[in-house]
Amino acid sequence: MSSPVHNWYKFTAGFSYKFVDIILDGYQPENTVVYEPFAGCGTTLVECQKLGFRSVGNESQELMCNVINAKLNWTIKEADYKTAIQNINQYVVSNKDKKETADKFHPLLVTLYDNPSLRELYSIRDGIHEIDNVELRLFFNMALCQTLHKSAIHPIAVPYISRSKFLADSGHALEKFNKISAQMVDDIKKMPNHNRLATVYNWDSRIENSKIADSSCRLCITSPPYLNNLDYGEVSKVHSHFFEMTSNWNDITEKVRHKLVTGATTHYRETDFNLDVFSQSEFAKKNPVTMKELVVLYDSIIKNAKTRKGKKSFHILMMHYFEDMYKVLKEMRRVLAEGAEAYLILGDSAPYGIYVATTQFLGDIAMNAGFREYSIHKIRTRGDKWKTLSNRHNISLSENILILK
């Protein structure tokens, strides 16, 4: 969070750019293109560009693609920035006393910002909209995304809105926006080279992306969603509602959740799942050994669920998750050249106290998706902070690097 550009967007699921550095250390920029199927807030792509490597990635959330594109554009000129920021401020001032169209404010945001700040936020948004230059619009929308985090009454993404906590320094949206934008321009000046070396597609990595050629990358550095019920649609809903990409639960399901690897029980309808039908899927047929083990876990999770509060369908979630990841791994294999390596940061899981060796399963599934060899390197133990919860399992979980060859 203290590294320039990387710290432009507070993203719960982001990983450390230093991880990318360590891996890139063994590669040459001249003959390496890096693939990132889960671009997130762009850590891999930004770090590759900083170090002079070409990279290409997919991210299925439009909001996050905008964030990444803003973080990758280091050609903003100071003079253009100055003119635009003046215009935005003028726009906000001249709209200040306008009779407010309060119904323009999304009801969720009304509960998260004081009224003067909310007026300023919407006014800044509309002021940015008047700018002709796409790159400048992305740049200022990025600054506005950060302002949404910093001026809220409650933290809005830890990973979800945390109404029991209060931000000490909430409000003052315009002032914060100006400060954040100025800092961003300064950060750009610190970037080592200003060439654009990375491309991100607003694309679902489970599906073949024809814009990325077969065997075009030598390395993959990524962190897929974990099997831990984190709902990315919920994580980004304050922003996506504010920018009018979504407006309610259904919208989030259609426009966000359905384009993501199934990682939360909110992504599907339980009644749509049938184990017999699933057993006939390509995934089940190509991964017979894994499938057999998953069915045992599926039954155990159902059994344990009966003794737990909250009837979540983790058994179904698990099946969808591995099927989706099989598709992602197949596409990854297509994009990677012979001899390439893939580094995936992953967490193990224990839905309703049943241990699922997620990393190992994905290693096995990768073998059936065209990879030749895998190894697992444990980075840390995780989940300990939940140990005090009375219904929490006491299985030790870990975060791992899965290396595929």
Ligand X SMILES: C[S@@+](CC[C@H](N)C(=O)[O-])C[C@H]1O[C@@H](n2cnc3c(N)ncnc32)[C@H](O)[C@@H]1O
Q: Which is nearer to ligand X, 171 or 225 (CB)?
A: 225
Rg (CA), the chain: 22
> Applying CB under 6 A, does 262 fall inside the site for ligand X?
no
> Applying CB under 6 A, does 14 fall inside the site for ligand X?
yes
Among positions 46, 85, 152, 261, the unique one binding ligand X when judged by CB under 6 A: 261
> Applying CB under 6 A, does 109 fall inside the site for ligand X?
no
Distance CA 142, CA 13 (A): 18
* CB atoms near residue 178 (< 10 Å): 17
Assign 57 to helix, strand or coil: strand
The amino acid present at 244, given as its one-letter code, is E
> DSSP state, 281?
S
Q: Please, is 341 exposed, middle or buried when counting C-beta atoms within 10 Å of its C-beta (0-12, 13-18, 19+)?
A: middle
Distance CA 64, CA 121 (A): 19
> Applying CB under 6 A, does 38 fall inside the site for ligand X?
yes
Stretch of residues binding ligand X (CB under 6 A), selected from 6-14, 107-115, 132-140, 285-293: 6-14
Q: b/e per residue, 254-284, with b = 16+ CB within 10 A?
A: ebbbebbbbbbbbbbeeeeeeeeebeeeebb
> Applying CB under 6 A, does 20 fall inside the site for ligand X?
no
> Applying CB under 6 A, does 260 fall inside the site for ligand X?
yes
Q: Which is nearer to ligand X, 85 or 220 (CB)?
A: 220
Among positions 24, 34, 50, 60, the unique one binding ligand X when judged by CB under 6 A: 60
Interstrand relation of 33-36 and 54-58 (parallel, antiparallel or unpaired): parallel
Q: Which is nearer to ligand X, 151 or 223 (CB)?
A: 223
> Applying CB under 6 A, does 72 fall inside the site for ligand X?
no
**Token pair belonging to 247:** 């407006």
CA distance to 63, 236, 402, per residue, from 67 (Å): 6, 12, 27
Q: Which is nearer to ligand X, 14 or 52 (CB)?
A: 14
Site string for ligand X, 269-298 (x = CB under 6 A): ------------------------------
Shortest CB 354 distance to ligand X, Å: 23
The amino acid present at 84, given as its one-letter code, is A
Assign 382 to helix, strand or coil: strand
* CB atoms near residue 381 (< 10 Å): 11
Q: Which is nearer to ligand X, 40 or 127 (CB)?
A: 40
Shortest CB 256 distance to ligand X, Å: 8
Q: Which is nearer to ligand X, 16 or 281 (CB)?
A: 16
> Applying CB under 6 A, does 61 fall inside the site for ligand X?
yes
Q: Which is nearer to ligand X, 13 or 294 (CB)?
A: 13
Stretch of residues binding ligand X (CB under 6 A), selected from 183-191, 202-210, 244-252, 271-279: 202-210
Shortest CB 237 distance to ligand X, Å: 13
Q: Please, is 3 exposed, middle or buried when counting C-beta atoms within 10 Å of its C-beta (0-12, 13-18, 19+)?
A: middle
Q: Which is nearer to ligand X, 67 or 121 (CB)?
A: 67
> Applying CB under 6 A, does 40 fall inside the site for ligand X?
yes
> Applying CB under 6 A, does 64 fall inside the site for ligand X?
yes
Q: Which is nearer to ligand X, 141 or 240 (CB)?
A: 240
The amino acid present at 70, given as its one-letter code, is A
Shortest CB 110 distance to ligand X, Å: 26
> DSSP state, 52?
T
Q: How many residues bind ligand X (CB under 6 A)?
A: 21
**Cα-based torsion angle of the residue sequence 282, 287, 291, 294 in order, rounded to the nearest 10 degrees:** -110
Q: Which residues here bind ligand X, judged by CB under 6 A?
A: 11, 13-15, 38, 40-41, 43, 58-61, 64, 204-206, 223, 225, 232, 260-261
